[in-house]
Structure 1
Amino acid sequence: MRKQIQSPLAPLPLYNIFSAVGWGYVLYNVISVFPKIQQPKFYYQTKNIVTMIQCCAVVEIFISLFEVVRSPLITTVSQVFSRLLVVIGVFQLLPETPLLKTYTYVVLLSAWSVAEFVRYLYYFYSLADKKGPSEVLVLLRYNLFWVLYPTGVACELLIIYSALPLAEAKYGVFSKWVLLGGMLAYIPGFPVLFSHMVAQRRRGMKKMYQVFCKQN
């Protein structure tokens, strides 16, 4: 059945384009602002906007829960909450975490912003454009994750690990175990999310190949 194209001003396309703009702004900061001000000033200047943009992704849990789009609830919840653990649990509650003031933070933002900018643009054009996303956007959407997802996860884990001593000193041993629990959740979570992305890639590239064969 042919997918119904929505107006660009419909709630879901609007959410996706605003999210793309938000992550595009983060990417702009990585490319243009960081070389000028370096660390740790870059971290202090960007941590709040990154936190705000990432917190908006909570909307995706409800989108998946109410089946507005066909997105697995478990994988959506896992991805959103792992990010929230970093931006709220570390950026906001433990802002003096050592690795946040190093290149690890910059690499993390690079991986997040590129992946999310491409992902939200892809969703927007899939929903609001009769032609759908361009071939370049499809290729980026289904291939960048091979590098960006492991890179992002590695940086997330390094930053959380770096925050453990500070968490215990500032909030007590329970907060340290909360962070450790979050880190342990990556053990089953990473393979599930990565396998989901591989499956999505297989379907997406197959569809792209079929369209290419029809056109030629």
Structure 2
Amino acid sequence: MAHPQKWLIAYNSVSASLWSIVLFNTLFLGTLIGQPYLFEKTNFVTTIIQTCALVEVFNALFGIVRASFFTTLMQVYSRLLVVWGIWQFLPESPANSHWSYITVSIAWSLSEIIKYSFHTTTLKGETPDWLVWLRYSAFLVLYPLGVSSEMIIMYLSLDVGKAVSEYYYYFIWANLVIYIPALVHLYTHLLRQRKKALGKLKAKGEKKDEKKNE
């Protein structure tokens, strides 16, 4: 295997590019053809790109990165539940032609472009202050938008899931219930990270000002 840092730089750079494709598809095709054609044309590509995030679970599990394994697992699992558990397993779900497909694609893609760009520049040692701020502030809007869209998608899929299997119906419901405490846990975790990161950014700015005034 290549040097871990080189591997991580490559992974994050490619991931940012792939999510840029998702964002472009959503905005361009969404405007051009709208739903339900947007889902038909883009869902499988988005599913494959999102599935690549399993690499992050592996990295967290084996300590290749410092991210929390449990937090990473929760984030990846919730998205895989949508892309595989709904989009691929329940292609007839009304959720797939709903506006929530557009909002979840926008929220995910913007979040991931920011995250992977941040990680790439951090590994290279050249992260601009504006990207640090964006990394720890954009989630304030994008995270609730993404999670609420995911929940809408699952809720709208309940009847179709029940038609497939009674067990699958209750499986979706169970995940909807779990979303509430998981949302609180992940959001407060991100808020703690934000306070710490922006505190360092503020201190950095103050040091720069002191040097200018010397």
Cα deviations by residue, 1:40-97 (Å, 9 ceiling, x for unpaired):
1011111001100110111111111111111111111111101010000001000111
2:72 is aligned with 1:76: yes
Give the residue type in structure 1 aligned to 2:176.
Answer: M
2:170 is aligned with 1:174: no
Cα pair 1:7 1:13 within 8 Å, conserved: no
Cα pair 2:4 2:64 within 8 Å, conserved: no
Cα deviations by residue, 1:22-57 (Å, 9 ceiling, x for unpaired):
111111112222111111101111100110011011
Shift of 1:113: 0.6
Match of residue 152 from structure 1: 146
Q: Pick from 116, 121, 126 the counterpart of residue 125 of structure 1.
A: 121
Cα deviations by residue, 1:132-181 (Å, 9 ceiling, x for unpaired):
x21221111111111110111111001001111101112x1011111112
Cα pair 2:5 2:123 within 8 Å, conserved: no
Match of residue 28 from structure 1: 24
* TM superposition score normalised by structure 1: 0.92
Cα pair 1:8 1:14 within 8 Å, conserved: no
Give the Cα separation in 1 of the matches to 2:128 and 2:28.
26
Alignment of 1:98-117 (within 5 A): 98-117=94-113
* CA RMSD of superposed structures (Å): 1.6
2:182 is aligned with 1:189: yes
The unaligned stretches of length 5 or more in structure 2 are 210-214
Give the Cα separation in 2 of the matches to 1:135 and 1:95.
42
Give the residue type in structure 2 aligned to 1:135.
Answer: D
2:199 is aligned with 1:203: no
Match of residue 81 from structure 2: 85
Give the residue type in structure 1 aligned to 2:94.
Answer: P
The unaligned stretches of length 5 or more in structure 1 are 1-5
2:145 aligns to what SS in structure 1? helix
Aligned residues: 208
Stretches (4+) displaced over 4 A: 6-9
Give the Cα separation in 2 of the matches to 1:81 and 1:193.
13
